[in-house]
Structure 1
Amino acid sequence: MTRSLRVAVVGAGPAGIYAADILTKSAAESGTEVGIDLFERMPAPYGLIRYGVAPDHPRIKGIVNALQRVLDRPGIRFFGNVEYGVDLKLDDLRHFYDAVIFSTGAEKDRPLDIPGIDLDGSYGAAEFVSWYDGHPDVPRTWPLRAREVAVLGVGNVALDVARVLAKTADELLSTDIPDNVYEGLKSSPVTDVHVFGRRGPAQAKFTPLELRELDHSPHVEVIVHPEGIDFDAASMAAIRSNKQVEMVVKTLQEWAIRDVGSRPRRLHLHFLEAPVEVLGSTSVTGLRTERMELDGDGGVRGTGEFTDWPVQAVYRAVGYLSTHLVDLPFDHTSGTVPHQAGRVLDLDEQAMPGVYVTGWIKRGPVGLIGHTKGDALETVTSLLADAPVLPAAPGREPDAVVRFLEQRAVPFTTVAGWRRLDAHEIALGAARGRDRVKVVDRAEMTDISRS
């Protein structure tokens, strides 16, 4: 007779919910009965989609509808406002569950080691994204004092940051931005946002759709500086072999030769400009870049030609980094948990029985949201292959973990609570002619969810 499984998933963002989705379907196909509990540090689910996607991306936020259907599925429970390492630890999870999948993602900024990067006015993109997305654990104000801003990096996050900085606050009123974010952006004196990439246009990491969205604002002139539009043999090979690269390059080339219009704000795209120093004594007064040239193999080398740009703020968007999880091994260079096909490996490179990873904590913060489905499938396949030999958890009765959290006075939220918060935010928006207004304060979110 096939045994039943009790599985905990730590992290209820896309990666965790996709894992729960695939696990329930795969288990059903194999005749395995499975109960899944998702634990999330935030009072609300959806992780990256709620707190990492720019508010003017309703297309991506629409993924929430599919994720909600998974959370509503019988056999899946959601425990929000529960922090791994604080409210419960690995030993606790192993007591209640036969297997644990960690899907905690990546929300910290990867460092950039150049002089001046720690000056006042130099920020990580992840911090700014958390602010404008209403993350409950970041300050509610943001110092938007700069007229000219530099954004370092040419991925989708860099374009999100640049676009939000350049747009007027009123353009974002149709989104779910909280009141404090609207007021902050409304007071911004910004006129010019400069995006810098150290490599060429064929090596840019943003998607064609993300790029084209830059040009939709009636108040923002997008200017591609033509001196950075250059291609070597590796660039041409990438263009020929990848349709997305071809589309990005075509758009950039067209923008580089068009006449510059008269919109009041400007968003500049610079390629082959490598940041080498943030200028200033106590606060940012400029950015120094070195002109780069393509080396023929897709890489770049410095030319020794430097330019100082008069900016008063710098945002680095050079990648996200995961946080070290208590009781798990961690590779601090890659920012991932060592694993083999999703099975977590201990310091002796042996699989830790019943412990798995998926998503960015597994493979690093690369790729689009949908790419986490492949991670989840591999991890779930490993878990189900291991199922026959996984020891049964001693406290696997479903209500045991509920009693544990209640005894510890953890004010956890549920799917029903999320429905209440969701309805409350929609009602706030309806009162102002908007789709939604996001509640920011953690205690308020929890109180509404638990009311």
Structure 2
Amino acid sequence: MSFHKVLLSELKLWTSGRSRWRSRLHDGVSRSGKVSFSSCSPKVCIVGSGPAGFYTAQHLMKARQDVEVDIYERLPVPFGLVRFGVAPDHPEVKNVINTFTQTAKHSHCNFYGNVTVGKDVSVEELQQAYHAVVLSYGAEGNRSMRIPGEDLAGVYSAKDFVGWYNGLPNCQELFPDLSCETAVVLGQGNVAIDVARILLSPIDMLKTTDITQPALEALAASQVRRVLIVGRRGPMQVACTIKELREMVNLPGTKPDMLAADFDGVAQAVKDVPRPRRRLTELMLKTALEIPGEKEQARRNKASRIWGFRFFRSPIEVLADPDRNRTTAIRLAINRLEGSGEGARAVLTGEVEDVSCGLVISSIGYRSLPINGSVPFDTHKAIIPNTMGRVQQAAGLYCSGWLKTGPTGVIATTMNNSFDTARSLVEDMDSGILHVSSAKPGSQVISALLEKRGVKPVTFSDWEKIDHVEVRRGEAVGKPREKLLSVEEMLQVAQR
């Protein structure tokens, strides 16, 4: 039977009224109780419910009041890296969830969690059912260091480590060994600083956040007292923001440990750089080189934990104990810079340095993964080739977020690039490039397909049951929420 005939068959099942759910859909009511649009409404499907997905949906519905948007998410819970990536001690960043909730509750929008596109339903089936499909599923893979020893016990990716303390279900078996004194974090972006800060934060600061209870208990027992944050280039190329650096500088119970030689010539060079970079570098210089005042010196004297940047160093091997059971050190190549500013390149000098440590966390970047063979994918850049969000050589297919640009920027960056994708889609609707005059069944056929395959989507009202349970559990222990940590537990609550 042809693919088109299969879809027609499913559409017939949908309209036959064989089940109460399908009957209600036929009457124009979704499982979440929302009234669905007429069959002539432009129907757009978004794959992924992180910031990119929600911002794309928000702008689409603002620009076209007749558009109907369905968001599909692999997990039973929405919000992607806002829930699973933002540091637990940064609750203000998570306030965007309020905006995303308004979008999800819009009468033109439906959320379907617990649906894995590429497994439960194919991209081709979505393309048949919708006028447009927007892929916004982010960057779920890790960039490999490609060095000997990176598979040793004690070596973790920052993505997995962050997922562990933030409650990402597939990271709950990580059980990182925190019994060593020194940890090395590779990379100097905001995620690297987050990891260092969480490792060194006083437990009393963390226990009032939404960090998971298992992570809180592990950090309370942690023996880590020193964290080195390593980068291949210099202070003028560090990738974190001044906000993150300031938090590190002021972290209670800690003191900085820098190498003065790493800052040779920086004070002169910083005078000619743009203001944001200058302020960031000046704070580093002050922290590393200036003699602290009496109050700051007293604070440092009491500190029991140490952090510091190490510049001009690249990892070349993780070293193991004689039995190769666990990490004991990391070998770093010492670099020099060619060029200056943002374009400076790290060049090997031939010198190496071994740093004793029992924990290595690689924060060198996330990586998007291809969804299936039918969707174009640039394996070198790890993005979907696109022009302003329009997937190349794939009419009706779009992308937004890190899948579109690579894993760069903060939430505001993602918002702007998602708005750009939505504008491209609206332009294509308005110009007729995207044919929206012919009726498409949208979620009504997809829901029938999922039901037949035994997949039970989680609606936004189902998510609100999970949210209620998590908040209630958190209140009992003085936290904003205590997250459910497994998909099974989430589904049990959602399907009550």
Q: TM-score, normalised by structure 2?
A: 0.84
Please name the residue that 2:369 is paired with: 323
Letter in 1 for 2:241: T
With over 3 angstroms needed to count, the CA separation of the structure-2 counterparts of 1:272 and 1:311, relative to structure 1, is same
In the other structure, the counterpart of 2:167 is: 134
Per the TM alignment, residue 379 of structure 1 is displaced from its structure 2 partner at its CA by: 1.5
Instruction: Indicate the residue corresponding to 1:167 in structure 2.
Output: 201
Matched, 1:191 2:233: no
Preserved contact between residue 41 and residue 439 of structure 2 (Cα < 8 Å): no
1:250 equivalent in structure 2: 282
1:72 equivalent in alignment to 2:100:
no
Q: Which of residues 315, 323, 342 in structure 1 aligns to 2:389?
A: 342
Q: Deviations over 1:127-153 (max 9, x none)?
A: 111111110122343322222111001
- Could you say which residue in structure 2 is the equivalent of 1:34? 67
Q: 1:117-132 residue pairs with structure 2 within 5 A?
A: 117-132=150-165
Please list every run of 5 or more consecutive structure 1 residues that lacks an aligned counterpart in the other structure: 346-350
Structure 2: which amino acid aligns with 1:67? F
Alignment of 1:5-154 (within 5 A): 5-28=42-65, 33-140=66-173, 141-154=175-188
* 1:296 and 2:339 correspond: yes
Which moves more between the two structures, 12-21 or 182-191? 182-191
- 2:479 corresponds, among 431, 434, 438, to 434
Q: What SS does the aligned partner of 1:352 have? A: coil
Write the letter of the residue equivalent to 1:340: T
Which residue in 2 is equivalent to 1:348? Answer: none
What is the match of residue 352 of structure 2? 306
The alignment-based identity, stated in percent, is: 35
Say if 2:71 and 2:111, in contact at 8 Å, map to a contact too: yes
Higher-Rg structure is: 2
CA distance in 2, matches of 1:215, 1:61: 23
1:362 is aligned, of 385, 390, 404, to: 404
Q: State whether residues 188 and 239 of structure 2, in contact with CA within 8 Å, keep that contact through their aligned partners in structure 1.
A: yes
Alpha-carbon distance in structure 1 between the residues aligned to 2:123 and 2:59 = 23
103-112 vs 402-411, greater mean Cα deviation: 402-411
Matched residue of 1:224: which SS?
Answer: coil
1:398: Cα distance to partner? 4.7
Residue 296 of structure 1 deviates from its aligned partner by: 3.5
Distance 2:109 2:269 in 1: 48
Choose the corresponding residue for 2:416, options 363, 367, 374.
374
Cα distance in structure 2, aligned partners of 1:106 and 1:77: 23
> What's the TM-score once normalised by structure 1's chain length?
0.92
Unaligned runs of 5+ in 2: 1-39, 293-299
In the alignment, structure 1 residue 275 sits paired with structure 2 residue 340: no
Take 1:272 and 1:291, find their aligned partners in 2: how far apart are those partners?
6
> Aligned AA for 1:270?
R
Partners of 1:380 and 1:433 in 2: how far apart?
A: 40
Aligned equivalents of 2:265 and 2:102: distance in 1? 46
Amino acid corresponding to residue 309 of structure 1 in structure 2 = V
Q: Is the 8 A contact 2:44 2:134 kept in 1?
A: yes
Q: For residues 177 and 81 of structure 1, do their structure 2 counterparts lie closer, same or farther at Cα, with a shift above 3 Å needed?
A: same
Secondary structure at 2:309 match in 1: strand
- 2:365 and 2:216 map into 1 onto residues whose CA distance is 26
2: CA distance, partners of 1:145 / 1:198: 27
Which stretch has the larger CA shift, 221-230 or 38-47?
221-230
Does structure 2 retain, via aligned residues, the 8 Å contact 1:98–1:390?
yes
CA distance in 2, matches of 1:245, 1:195: 19
C-alpha separation in 1, matches of 2:144 and 2:301? 36
